[in-house]
Amino acid sequence: MTCACGCGGTPSPGKRFIHNHHLRGPHPGRRTRTPHERMWRFVPSAPADSCWLWTGETDDSGYGRIRRTGSDRRYVRAHRLMWEHHHGPVPTGRCVMHACDTPACVNPAHLRLGTWAENNADRAAKKRSAPTLPGAFGEKHHNARLTAEQVRQLRAATPTPDLIRDLSRAWGVSRKTLYDARNGRTWGHLGPS
């Protein structure tokens, strides 16, 4: 007797399918649906001008997501997939933005292309980014690990790997935190390094 899926394999006696056959990947003769074909299962019918809220899996931020098929099994965000379905690939260096500010919305009429800078500016203007309190930067920021004085000392010193290691241990922060503060990626409000 051969496997009931049609692969030609021989299952154990009394069984119709080969043990753990589902782990072997797509069955021969069965076409794997693309994420574009599968996404419509998770898009409810709604008026064209309202939000189409994704009913499938979501990430921690509330954005819909679906797995790619084939060997690349990473997640793709649902609104990006919907944009690609209607308009083609997203150009390099661009992102798909929501005009409605609803992360689960996949209505193509509510989506537009923008740069990462535009997306970040839009997020900040709508007070959807941390910190949301005015003046919450530097030592006042909830994630601050350094003081302004420490950053000034770090920027004034000649950075050597030994100095960074010693300061990292003394101040209880990672080396990356120190490099970012030294090079102006963080603590930019203090001026150039």
Q: Is residue 175 part of a domain?
A: yes
More confident residue, 114 or 33: 114
Does residue 171 share a domain with residue 98?
Answer: no
Enclosing domain of residue 93: 35-125
Q: Are 55 and 44 in contact (CB under 8 A)?
A: yes
- For residue 138, is it left (φ>0), alpha (ψ between -120 and 50) or beta? left
Q: What is the pLDDT of residue 139?
A: 81
Does residue 49 share a domain with residue 19?
Answer: no
Q: How far apart are CA 5 and CA 18, in angstroms?
A: 9
Does residue 112 share a domain with residue 39?
Answer: yes
Model pTM score: 0.54
Q: What is the pLDDT of residue 104?
A: 93
Q: What is the pLDDT of residue 162?
A: 92
User: Which amino acid would we find at residue 141?
Assistant: H
User: Which amino acid would we find at residue 87?
Assistant: H
Q: How far apart are CA 65 and CA 69, in angstroms?
A: 13
Q: Are 138 and 147 in contact (CB under 8 A)?
A: no
Q: What is the pLDDT of residue 29?
A: 56
Rounded (10°) angle between helices 161-171 and 175-182: 110
Q: What is the pLDDT of residue 26?
A: 56
> How far does Cα 39 stand from its chain's mean position?
18
Mean pLDDT computed over 81-109: 92
Q: Are 68 and 81 in contact (CB under 8 A)?
A: no
Q: Is residue 172 part of a domain?
A: yes
Q: How far apart are CA 169 and CA 180, in angstroms?
A: 16
